[in-house]
Amino acid sequence: MSASPSGSSSQPAGFALGKHMTVEYYDCASAILTHADTVKEVFLKAARDSGATVIGADFHYFQPQGISGFVIIAESHFSVHAWPEFDYAAVDIFTCGEAIDFQAAVNSIRDGLQAGKVIISAVMNRGITANDGMAMDIPLVQDKTYRYALSWQTAFRRAGARGISCNIDLYDVAPETIGKREELEHFTCKLAAALHPEETDQATGTCFATDDNGDFNLHCRCGALQLSGRILPRERIIYLDLFNYGYFEPREAAEFAMEFFRGQNYRMQVALRR
């Protein structure tokens, strides 16, 4: 067998039908992630900046918040799924051919979303071809041992947690919902009833503390649910800290608060308590 020429490989050059990049965008501007039209323009610009040929786009806004969208390009697609409550956007860029400038696309989306941190989490070759057709010996998923749960309830169970905390920040709330003190006093029990319909406990330990600026703190307990909050009427912002001994669904709590106070968007942080 003759030796291969210097610098060459005995293996033939590989060929893939497509290239697929997944990108994580953290610390995005939540005000941008709550407007589907704005996100759409960001991705249309990114596609053009990358050299792609745009064919069409479809972006959907979920209630009370969240965006999913696709930009169809002649070379394949750009997609995004955004979680404004976590200032996060998951982005896929898929292309066939070598005309797309991936780095230009990544940078353009970063600037458009005002992301503080960008991580290219995967770059995959899709549809690897060989002389005998398609080479399928490189699975995209190696096994079914996943490190991360896809629901808080699963994570709660796996961690052996005893309680769960949830910080919820509500923005642009309706002024009239803040001004009704008697409603605020019942908010904790209404939330507790929504999360745990079987519980009928009355609120205990409710107290308000108002400062010179007209802002005030709220502390209350109803059954296993404890709530503390800082309410800023002039700025139309409410900060809520929830703790529950036992499990509750964080997103249900956030969406209940959004509906109750008629906010425009929210952010959320969750912690499991062991």
Active site residues: 76, 81, 96
111: left (phi over 0), alpha (psi -120 to 50) or beta: alpha
Alpha carbons 184 and 121: distance in angstroms, whole number? 43
What's the first-to-final CA gap in the chain, in angstroms? 64
The Cα 140–Cα 123 span in angstroms is 11
Local structure of residue 65 (DSSP, 8 states) = S
Please state the φ and ψ torsions of residue 222, each to the nearest 5 degrees: -145, 110
Total number of residues shown for the chain: 274
The one-letter amino acid code at 209 reads A
Half-sphere exposure of 128 (CA within 13 A, CB side): 11
Give dist(CA 218, CA 227) in Å, integer. 8
Kind and range of the H or E run holding 101: none
Give the 3-state secondary structure of residue 109.
helix
Residue with tokens 């956030």: 254
Parallel/antiparallel/unpaired status of strands 265-273 and 15-26: unpaired
